[in-house]
């Protein structure tokens, strides 16, 4: 158990002293870009799904 606690302490020290973090503004801009891309991608997938669903519905109605 002591090794695990030391590992956690060392991990937090590593994150606070040796890591280079981006600025808050840059993080916010990146978050907005990711959110917008995610929404656009979800809409594109939904549109493609709707096209395929309509096509399959029409195909099976023909039988």
Does a structural domain hold residue 17? no
Does a structural domain hold residue 60? yes
Three-state DSSP string of 23-47: CHHHHHHHHHHHHHHHHHHHHHHHH
Does a structural domain hold residue 2? no
Does a structural domain hold residue 14? no
Residue whose pair of structure tokens reads 């907005």 in the numeric block: 32
- Kindly report, residue by residue over 39-50, the tens digit of the pLDDT: 999 999 999 999
**Residue 6: alpha-carbon gap to chain centroid:** 31
Low pLDDT (below 70) residues in the chain: none
CA contacts within 13 A on the Cβ side of 1: 0
Q: What is the pTM of this model?
A: 0.63
pLDDT, position 2: 84
pLDDT, position 41: 98
């Amino acid at each position: 158990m002591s090794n695990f606690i030391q590992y956690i302490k060392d991990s937090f020290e590593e994150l606070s002293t040796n890591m280079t973090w981006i600025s808050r503004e840059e993080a916010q801009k990146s978050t907005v870009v990711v959110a917008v891309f995610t929404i656009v991608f979800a809409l594109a997938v939904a549109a493609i799904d709707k096209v395929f669903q309509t096509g399959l519905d029409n195909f099976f109605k023909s039988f």
